[in-house]
Structure 1
Amino acid sequence: MASADVAMAQGADADTTAEEAAPGSIVVLGTRRTDRSATDSASPVDVIGAAELQQQPAANMLDVVKNIVPSFFVPQNTISDASTFVRAPSLRGLPADNILVMLNGKRFNRSALVQVYTGGDTALSFGSQGADISSIPSIAVSNLQVLRDGATAQYGSDAIGGVLNYGLRDDIGFEAQGLYGQNYDNGGDGETWQVSGYGGVRLGDAGFISLAGEYSDTNGTSRGVQRPSAVNFANQFPDLADQLPNFPGPVQIWGTSPSHGWKFILNSELELAPNATFYLFGNLARSKADQSFNYREAVTTTATRFDGTNNTTGTLSANSAFRHPIFLTTCPTGNATCPAGGFVRDTNVFNFTDFYPAGFTPRFVGVTKQAIGVVGVRGDMDSGFTYDVSGSLARQSLNLSMYNSLAPSYGPDSQTEFEFGTLIQREINLNLDMTYPLDVGFASPLTLSGGAEFRREEYEATEGDPQSYGAGPYAVQQLFDRVSDGVYTPTSAADCPVAQAAGVTTCTVTMPPAASGYGGTSPTFAGKSSEKSYGFYVGLEGDITERFSMGVAGRYEHYENFGSTTVGKVNARLELSDSLAIRATAGTGFHAPSPGQNNVQVLTTTFIQGNQVQVGTYPVTSDIAQYFGATTLGPEESTNFGAGFVLEPTNNLTVTVDAYSIKVRDRIGISQTFNVTADDIVALPSLAGVGEGGSVQYFTNGFDTRTRGVDVVATYRTGLADGDLNMTLAYNYNKSKVTDFDDGVIGATQLIDIKYLAPNHRATFAANWSSGPWAINLRESYFGTWRDSNDYPLRVGNITCPSGVSPAPDDRTTPCAIFDGQHFGAKFITDLDVSYTFAEKYTLTVGANNLFNTYPDKIAATINNPIYDSTGSISNGSIYPRPGGPFGINGGFWYARIRVKY
């Protein structure tokens, strides 16, 4: 796992000192002692310095950490519903809500979004509700400490995979930065402007106050091509070609969504007495992004394609909103042959081509707002007793809306713009932490620690526009033909505007409910839900001898909705010599289901063979979920083991190697999809919001995983050409495996993605050279092979199938099918920047991320994703994998930064 020991902590700033980055820097994570460093900690901790964080040209903290920490994985998320606005990371292959995030050692709140989008973009965090670190500006951070160990016994729920603690700056002075950059390709798209600043002042001799802020504006990127259906439309209807969405560009945009926003961090302290300090810090942020959705074809066309073996003709179906007209003439009142609620099949019709003659591409908009404030008092006494009493209040919201869309079942009265409602996460945390030194004759006093925590989480979903979730008057139309005055007969199957099953004598045509693309929150599921918990912990750690130290910790927590749990941890470190030490940890942990996971309701749109289908995710407590077998959620439970060594053969060389094994039981996932039939809607009318042919899913505890891996970090410091050279080589091997599962929850493609979506091998070599006013930073990153079976599945065989069962090549659900995903090849990515400091306070940096413009492999032609001759893409216009893989699909990015520091 990448670290920030010496070389990783020093960045482009020529005035970075060795002390800022030294491997002996004090760590506060994973221990209650105040004399531990990164190399003598019993648990592996990496310290990433401020310069290294600020060196990254990314405006999103997710991408900053991804570039530095090898086992931290986050996809690009090109078209992935609300998951584009709140991207979910993974650490060591575990989901976002198995990572605890902290600010100044205090718990950071969860995001407002529960990850329910189904795709490779979210495969490793499917169903999670983790923290959204994108609201943290890099310029506000003094260092990031990454604990690569389970720490639930110390910090509570969620710290199964590790902990990220952002230490905030408290230095006095002023700093401002401005950055401009753009991608190499597509005429230089992805244009980015970023302005940030920091100011810290003293409050007399008793404290300080600092404020850091950042504003960024990023244009979108496009890495797809025109959809083959749009090419066909332009050829068949040249007079309407300029009405295609985004004309003359692709009708559907694969790339980073345009976004802009601001973020602030306040940090302050004031001495109340010689041994008592009041502190206050907080984070405010707002961002807005505008995402392209899938193109909705207005007509059905055909095109030649290659499926990896043969050339075939593929049908590119019109969207269901355009496949037949909406009949507007209702049955006469009181007519015996044309019942109430029926429609007459005549020329009084409406077509959605009146709205969108060339089809449409909905635009999905997300506005995220973040606020957290922490206040507390800490101090110590002459006896060595220390205390820290704090409270925090947090709120994050995600407002979702859409334009350039429609609600098909409302016909001519359909809106084209929709408000889907706002998702809101609120949290209250109260903490008491205490330590006391016990001198019992060991090599050092034992640190006795203990404390208590109270938490309250609340999840709220506000109601959307009625058309955003409702089924309109044209959702289901029974059609009748007039045969003479006042006499009607059911429309025959042969005359139906859409194909019907053989033997059907009544023609029923349908339009999908809700808005095309997403579904708003209905009154049934709008509202609040909450969870209260309290916990107590105790720990004891210290040096037993001059060369042997160990610690133990235990924690009890009680949750009002599922009961109590107790976890523990033990770690130890033994110095075998002055240059070699071994260390080991073992512990148990848990992740409590959040109110969001228990109560989320989301309606999304997917396409199956061109048909628009609604997929509803419903709370386990709802009548819909329980109709399909949902039960109450329980906590995830984990067992962690780690062992490794620290080697320091010389003062300028440090090597750490740490192996780990993490078992997680009863992981929370999302069930299989249950298809909704007409009989289901009759039995449960609330299913009309999904509609016949749609599907339902819900959260459940459904599988166990085992993650194993090893982290290697080597740092070396030397001189070169009258300058200082610092180098770090970091390597991570990580593989997760599903060891037990309910096949109603986990499908064949998910089994592969959990194991292979993130590369099993990743390595990073970083070098920083500085001399006088000059500084050069070089990073070479290696990303091993990876797969995406959810988006690019390939059936490679069968196990013994039940009698009469023979899966089709593209059947992802039949249990006896053996699947693989497309293998995307290993790549090297080079980042380089050069800085020059002039007039002492001004630093100019020019650089490039992905210097040599490397892209992931293109999508291969298969029966599931054939490549169309007219565009060289699959049917949706994409040529690169939609999640972006470990480094994205935008290619190279160059930038220039100016920094002023007083």
Structure 2
Amino acid sequence: MQMRCKQVSGRAMLAAATAVIAVASSDAAFAQSNDSQASEGSDSERIVVIGSRRTDRSVTDSASPVDVISATEIQQQPAANMLDVVKNVVPSFFVPQNTISDASTFVRAPSLRGLPADNILVMLNGKRFNRSALVQVYTGGDTALSFGSQGADISSIPAIGVGNLQVLRDGATAQYGSDAIGGVLNYGLRKDTGFEAQALYGQNYDNGGDGETWQLSGYGGFALGDRGFISIAGEYYDTKGTSRGVTRPSAINFANQFPNLADQLPNYPGPVQIWGTSPSDGWKLVVNSEYDFSPQATFYLFGNFAASDADQSFNYREAVTTSAVRFNGTSSSTGTLSANSAFRHPIYLTPCPASNATCPSGGWVKDSNVFNFSELYPAGFTPRFVGETDQAIGVIGVKGEMDSGFTYDLSGSLARQSLALSMYNSLAPSYGPDTQTEFEFGKLIQRELNLNLDMTYALEIGLDSPLTLSAGAEFRREEYEATEGDPQSYGAGPYAVQNLYLQTSPGVYAFDSTVTMPPAASGYGGTSPTFAGKSSEKSYGFYVGLEGDLSERFSMGIAGRYEHYENFGSTTVGKINARYELTDSLAIRATAGTGFHAPSPGQNNVQVLTTTFIQGNQVQVGTYPVTSDISQFYGATTLGPEESTNFGAGFVFDPGNGFTLTVDGYSIKVTDRIGISQNFTVSAQDLADLPSLAGVGQGGSVQYFTNGFDTKTQGVDIVGSYRTDLAGGSLNLTLAYNYNKSKVTDFDPGVIGPTQLIDIKYLAPNHRANLAANWSSGSWAVNLRESYYGEWRDSNDYPIREGNVSSGAIIDGQRFGAKFITDLDVSYTFNDTYTLTVGANNLFNTYPDKIKATVNNPIYDLTGSISNGSIYPRPGGPFGLNGGFWYARLRVKI
């Protein structure tokens, strides 16, 4: 207790010392600090290129709220994944850790302002970045805010190649097309010349120092005479896994009952299943180039290429049924820990004799000729799920400005991302003794072609500034493909349903019972030939805009866009914004607009088979295309677009003494949001009526995509910064605060359940803030950031019910308390070339609250965990469950 008090006190002192000076300043992410392309405070770092077609807008005089995150701030983060980098510095950006969440562990889905990943448009040098190959169909708190989405995978972008990140916190569909409902992330790639290399090593504090991370990155920028440049940046990383759970109580029971088999438990002597970050490695590369052919024509070429490999622990499959004492929050009782369905009865290998009237063809004799999966896995098994991601996007174009002031930008891009899924240490129960233990599930592939033309022209009509007339056109083709998996990965084998007969006398048999084994591989299902193949969507659009200063103090902009999609028709959206300077240092601004998100070919055509457990029973859950006979059997209809209305208003205070402050409120309504239907349980009659349901099997369930609910999101962003001198050095103080709350305003009960209603509102903290200080003097630099994460809930994984556990209504989710996280690093530069940094993220080793004992999730006395061995919430919450991480980085810049 004394040690904990010291930690809290130390953290509070650090925060208070910063707060005294910062008062109402903003987050370090938004400080205009040094980066690779511009010197501190230079205008080039403050110019924004999103949210406007004008080229003279800065952060503080933009009509829409835009944050510019410098290269320095991005590279200061020790995270190997860009998702975690952005999460650390943008308060309204949320992404869970995803400990065990099927393919969603390999492609994590973020949320901006509480909206799903495909409501965030990601751009690279102002051009649309491709979607990931994964449609988020995993059901759990890990994906609750992006359930059903197919967004971009920014983890493929290396931090060392980014010149800055511009975050448009405003709806921008009228300007950029589908998906920009919640905002835009635009990564500007580096253009500077020179060489830079970085090496980072770090590890977590706990579990003997797990999570060991190596990161090697390099950058080279070359001038092409005085006409252009080419830059290349790359990164290699290798991150070991972490473990923050304990072994299952059932595994302890097994070791006690069968000590001679204890060493055959998975991961022995560690936990039989791992709750933590999955080990991964990979490389990332970006290329950026421009060349001036003439004063009116600049050729450009850039791209992003990456590959990653991750290995995830799945749930442990018990070989025997045991029991243990558990506490449900009010009382203790003995709970049954059931064996996995593959071990509950043997596979009977003797077929009915040919031409026997009492033992029909297709039946099996119940005798001693059997196979048990304990012969293969005596102590049970824990499948390992592997995801291999490959990413490639290339953009080519030409842009220029004529003497008349007319500008043009003509570009084309090709992109492809694939996710290959496989598994080892598993089995296909319905194939009995012929089962595989390793499976290839096939590849998910997303391909995109984009053609763009953007034009502007400055109209001189005697106003305070020229009016910028903008217009453009876009053609886009998306293609989604799923390739076939191993037959056993999706099929129902010969032992899926066994009608058993007992011999009552020689040659005479009597029906005894029917036993079943789940189809497909245990843990996941591959793509069957029925659903393998390609689907595509073509669209085209046109936009027009007009913006400028109508007077010395008043500027205004308007934009409209028309798009047509071959699969669902046309839509027209618009946006208007304005900014008025009340004084030289104070301005008000406001925006209003409509937007949309078009359903992707992946959402229309995804087929995924996953495994879940209900009271220890392994159950297959199939997500099927809305056009399939399976989905239509249960009432599926064609998907339509999501539509939105955005409003925002705020003020900018810039007195010119190194202090800036922006406050922006917003309201976003989204109708016909795309979600996934309720689970429809497959009955014996369903199976007889529709044989294609065999891949799910009797007792399994079916779900599909549908437009099923409306949401309203409201919030406020406070962002500011302050620069001053202190102790012979330069001090930058920043604070960013976000309040955000979403709620479901209308819904189809067949699509949205009570857990989703709660999680959409509370899974991400409603309150989030970053308070930071950066001090530098000569060769020394110190960075301190204090992050605040408000209370959050997870109703999907940890529901609280009223009444009986099986029939009581879900009234809430467990509340996980607010936390402060402190990050600190110190750097020293010597010989003007080498910089050594030592630091720690989560300096005081803070964890989320532990899972509380409830009727749904009782805590077992043997382990102090719930039945699956987890102690902390499985999504990791807003800052993860790995605790503190220390690191050292060496940077060499020439």
Identify the TM-score tier after normalising by the shorter chain: over 0.9
1:713 correspondence with 2:719: yes
The correspondence of residues 619-630 of structure 1 with structure 2, limited to 5 A, is 619-630=625-636
Answer yes or no: is 1:538 the counterpart of 2:544.
yes
State the distance in 2 between where 1:286 and 1:142 align.
22
Give the 5 Å matches for 1:281-320.
281-320=302-341
* 2:404 paired with 1:383: yes
Matched with 2:573 is 567
Q: 2:235 & 2:673 partners in 1: Cα distance?
A: 37
- Structure 1, residues 239-288: CA drift from partner, whole Å, max 9, x if none? 00000000000001000000000000000011111211000000110000
Alignment partner, residue 613 of structure 2: 607
RMSD: 1.4
Matched, 1:118 2:124: no
2:850 alignment partner in structure 1: 858
Whether 1:402 and 2:398 are equivalent positions in the alignment is: no
Q: Is the 8 A contact 1:77 1:882 kept in 2?
A: yes
Identical positions, percent: 82
Are 2:201 and 2:887, in contact at CA under 8 Å, matched by a contact in 1?
A: yes
1:450 maps to what in 2? 471
Residue 214 in 1 paired to residue 240 in 2?
A: no
2:869 to 854, 877, 893: 877
Question: Could you say what secondary structure the match of 2:403 adopts?
Answer: coil
1:203, distance to aligned residue in structure 2 (A): 1.1
Partner of 2:297: 276
Give 1:649 deviation, angstroms: 2.7
- Residue 260 of structure 2 is matched in structure 1 by 239
1:19 aligned onto 2:37: no
Q: Distance in 1 between matches of 2:29 and 2:230?
A: 28
Q: Distance in 1 between matches of 2:439 and 2:41?
A: 54
Which residue number in structure 2 is paired with residue 771 of structure 1?
A: 777
Counterpart residue number, 1:548: 554
Between the aligned partners of 2:770 and 2:712, the Cα distance in structure 1 is 25
* Residues 34-113 of structure 1 aligned to structure 2 (within 5 Å): 34-113=55-134
Q: Using a 3 Å threshold, how does the CA distance of structure 1 residues 477 and 9 change in structure 2: closer, same or farther? A: farther
Q: Deviations over 1:354-390 (max 9, x none)?
A: 1000000000000000000000000010110000000
Query: How far does the alpha carbon of each residue in 1:219-257 deviate from its partner, in whole angstroms, 9 at most, with x for none?
Result: 000000010000000000000000000000000100000
1:430 and 2:451 equivalent? yes
Q: Distance in 1 between matches of 2:470 and 2:600?
A: 28
Cα shift at 1:485: 1.2
Any conservation in 1 of the 2:64–2:591 contact (CA below 8 Å)?
yes
Amino acid at match of 1:8: A
For residues 68 and 2 of structure 1, the distance between their equivalents in structure 2, rounded to whole angstroms, comes to 15
Q: Distance in 1 between matches of 2:29 and 2:722?
A: 8
AA paired with 1:845?
T
For 2:284, which of 245, 263, 270 is the aligned residue? 263
Aligned to 1:369: 390
Please state how far the C-alpha of 1:650 moved relative to its aligned partner. 3.8
Counterpart of 2:325 in structure 1: which amino acid?
A: T
Letter in 1 for 2:98: N
When residues 641 and 23 of structure 1 are mapped into structure 2, their CA distance, relative to the original with a 3 A threshold, is farther
Report the secondary structure of 1:328's partner residue.
strand
Q: Which residue of 2 aligns with 1:413?
A: 434
Question: 1:503 corresponds to which residue?
Answer: none
- Report if the CA contact (8 A) 2:28-2:771 is conserved: no
Unaligned runs of 5+ in 1: 492-506, 797-806
Partner of 2:880: 888
Aligned to 1:508: 514
Change (3 A) 1:424 1:165: same
Q: CA deviation at 1:648?
A: 1.6
Contact 2:37–2:163, Cα closer than 8 Å, also in 1:
no
Question: What's the counterpart of residue 134 of structure 1?
Answer: 155
1:862 is matched by which residue type in structure 2?
T
**Is the 1:3–1:68 Cα contact (8 Å) retained in structure 2?**
no
Matched, 1:649 2:655: yes
2:530 equivalent in structure 1 = 524
- Structure 2 residue runs without a partner (length 5+): 1-23
**Alignment partner, residue 831 of structure 2:** 839
TM-score, normalised by the number of residues in structure 2 = 0.96
> Letter of the aligned partner of 1:847 in structure 2?
G
Change (3 A) 1:808 1:92: same
| 1:108 partner letter | F
Q: 1:282-309 deviations in whole A, cap 9, x for unaligned?
A: 0110000000000000000000000001
Aligned-partner SS, 1:329: strand
Equivalent of 2:674, from 658, 668, 672? 668
Amino acid at match of 1:508: T
- Mapped to 2, the partners of 1:643 and 1:332 lie a distance apart of 80
What is the Cα deviation at residue 714 of structure 1?
Answer: 1.9
Amino acid at match of 1:374: V
1:340 paired with 2:332, answer no
1:195 Cα deviation (Å)? 0.1
SS class of match (1:460): strand
Q: Distance in 1 between matches of 2:377 and 2:818?
A: 43
Counterpart in the other structure of 1:357 = 378
In structure 2, the partner of 1:791 is 797
Contact 1:756 1:787 in 2 (8 A): yes
What do the CA deviations read for 1:485-511 (whole angstroms, capped 9, x no partner)? 1110111xxxxxxxxxxxxxxx10000
The DSSP-based 3-state class of the residue aligned with 2:266 is: coil
CA distance in 2: counterparts of 1:811 and 1:602, whole angstroms: 29
Instruction: Give the structure 2 partner of residue 496 of structure 1.
Output: none
Distance in 2 (CA, whole Å) between partners of 1:663 and 1:14 is 39
Asked if 2 retains the 8 angstrom alpha-carbon contact of 1:7 and 1:717, the reply is no
Does residue 746 of structure 2 align to residue 740 of structure 1? yes
Is the 2:639–2:706 contact (alpha carbons within 8 Å) kept by the matching residues of 1? yes
Instruction: Note the alpha carbon deviations across 1:520-559, whole angstroms, 9 max, x for none.
Output: 0000000000000000000000000000000000000000
Contact 2:755 2:810 in 1 (8 A): no
CA–CA distance in structure 2, aligned partners of residues 351 and 328 of structure 1: 11
Counterpart position of 2:211:
190
1:169 aligns with 2:190: yes
Instruction: Report if aligned partners of 1:748, 1:818 keep a CA contact under 8 Å in 2.
Output: yes
In structure 2, the partner of 1:809 is 805
Amino acid at match of 2:467: L
Q: How far is the alpha carbon of 1:18 from its aligned partner?
A: 1.5
Distance 2:432 2:410 in 1: 59
Mapped contact 1:2–1:70 kept (Cα < 8 A): no
Does the Cα contact within 8 Å between 2:30 and 2:68 map onto a contact in 1? no
- In 2, Cα distance between equivalents of 1:213 and 1:2: 34
Quote the Cα distance in structure 2 between the aligned partners of 1:535 and 1:14: 36
The 2-side partners of 1:325 and 1:382 are apart by 83
Report the CA distance shift for 1:769/1:135 in structure 2 as closer, same or farther (over 3 A).
same
> 1:441 — aligned with what?
462
* Change over 3 Å in CA distance of 1:6–1:855 after alignment to 2: closer
Superposed CA deviations along residues 814-836 of structure 1, whole A, max 9, x for unmatched, are xxx24200000000000000000
Matched with 2:15 is none
Aligned position for 1:502: none
Map Cα deviations across residues 580-604 of structure 1 (whole Å, 9 max, x no partner): 0000000000000000000000000
Note closer, same or farther for the CA distance 1:488–1:450 as it changes in structure 2 (3 Å cut). Answer: same
Distance 1:17 1:277 in 2: 25
3-state DSSP class of the match of 2:103?
helix
Aligned counterparts of 1:884 and 1:560: Cα–Cα separation in 2: 40
SS at match of 1:649: coil
Give the CA deviation at 1:10: 3.1
Counterparts of 2:590 and 2:806, CA distance in 1 = 46
Q: CA deviation at 1:205?
A: 1.6
Letter in 2 for 1:389: L
CA spacing shift, 1:15–1:162, aligned 2, 3 Å? closer
